[in-house]
Amino acid sequence: MQLRYQFRVYPTPGQQEALAKAFGCARVVFNDGLRLRQRAREAGGKYVSDAELSKRVITQAKATPERAWLGEVSAVVLQQALADLNAAYRNFFASISGKRRGRKAAPPRFRSRKDNRQAIRFTKNSRFKVLDNGRLRLPKIGDLAVRWSRRLPSDPSSVTIIRDAAGRYFASFVVQTTDGPLPPAASEVGIDLGLTHFAVLSDGTKVAAPKFLRRAARTLRRLQQALSRKQKGSANRKKAVVKVAMAHARVADTRRDWQHKLSTRIIRDNQAVYVEDLCVAGLGRTRLARSVHDAGWASFTDMLEYKAARYGRTFARVDRFFPSTRMCSRCGRINDKMALKVRAWECSCGAAHDRDVNAAINVLAAGQADNSNDRGAQVRPGLVPAPRGEAVTHPDVARPTRSVEGILVL
């Protein structure tokens, strides 16, 4: 499978200037291509093809006095900027036609030089190279100093140079990994993600929520207050912006490192991992938005998914409407909705449940049912007849009920 390996790079002042020039040229080509297609659509003309677009905004533009400086950067950088534009259009068209699953993709927008993140990409056609002395040689940029934290598993097919909001530079390599599967593990686990505890496993293990953003709130508040007092457009304001970005980057890096260690441990210890498919975007619009974003559930589940595929483990998501919290893991009865403050409850069958542990056990059972084993064993809690006192009969509506054997009858 293809993975990205990212490393910190330290360009010299001259190389930073060359990178800034490449960032700007790629941005101009992207915006020129987008503007050309928009004008063609407004004029009622045909959709400008990829080849025609490259010819007009790169090849012909270099011959004009207004865009002659495009020849000062690598041509691959400009071509990859147009490739990003074409991919954005394809995703947008596939989204509105229903061919692309997930959330609706918006049409491409113009890039701004004030964007916090700038990036350019080099492919093998540009002949970039990792030298024997550990430096990264890029065309018309030079040899960049790289801080290697691990070896690349194979020759990279492309490298993306990124400048983030904090002014740091990174090299992101796309490599092909050939990792073999891990030795089989005897256990499987279901995970219930939450805010009180970041993750509760079906074996009863509870992982406390680190709350990295909450812990850094005092420092962030002080830096943002100092930023608000700086005059707009001044050099001191630019310095304050970098300080705020560095504080946020430190929080994000700490959270990412912690999630990598936890996800790796879970994948190594379990043969199959099942999680609930949470609607993080919807939860991010509630009063718990800050805590939800601080938890980082989406990035954590993405780590579990790709690491499971990488190491030969099973990973599955349980339907988000599955009542894992309200269902009794012993008898299968589904209770009424309960408030968030209720952390423990008792079922009418006599079972006492911890709210989160019970949900994790139900997630495990539901995941195993959707991914049944070779023998086809029944792992989901069986059907249980409703108590006689709960049955309600309406005179005008015949509701289906279940017999003791679990057969649907009228």
Positions marked active-site: 192, 276, 356
Q: How far apart are CA 110 and CA 84, in angstroms?
A: 12
Task: Give the Cα separation of 314 and 304 in Å (integer).
Answer: 10
Enumerate the β-bridge partners of residue 197: 208
Q: Can you read off the two tokens belonging to residue 356?
A: 């989160």
State how far the alpha carbon of 33 is from the alpha carbons of 73, 174, 186, 327, in Å: 18, 26, 54, 54
Residues forming a β-bridge with 119: 162
Q: What is the dihedral of CA 182, 183, 184, 188, to 10 degrees?
A: -50
DSSP character at residue 232: T
**DSSP run (H or E) holding 301:** helix 297-310
Tokens representing residue 210 in the block: 């680190």
Query: What SS3 class is residue 286?
Result: coil
The vertex-363 CA angle with 360 and 364, nearest 5°, equals 90
Long-range contacts of 403-408 (CB under 8 A, 24+ apart): 406/382
Q: Which H or E element spans position 253?
A: helix 235-269
C-alpha closest to that of 391 among 401, 382, 381, 404: 401
* Per-residue DSSP letter, 141: T
Task: Quickly count: other Cβ atoms within 10 Å of residue 307's Cβ.
Answer: 20
Q: Which residues contact 86 (CB under 8 A, 6 or more apart)?
A: 50, 53
Give me the DSSP letters along 279-291.
-HHHHTTSTTHHH
Radius of gyration of the chain (CA): 27
C-alpha–C-alpha distance, residues 294 and 252, integer Å: 9
What tokens appear for 327 in the block? 């269902």
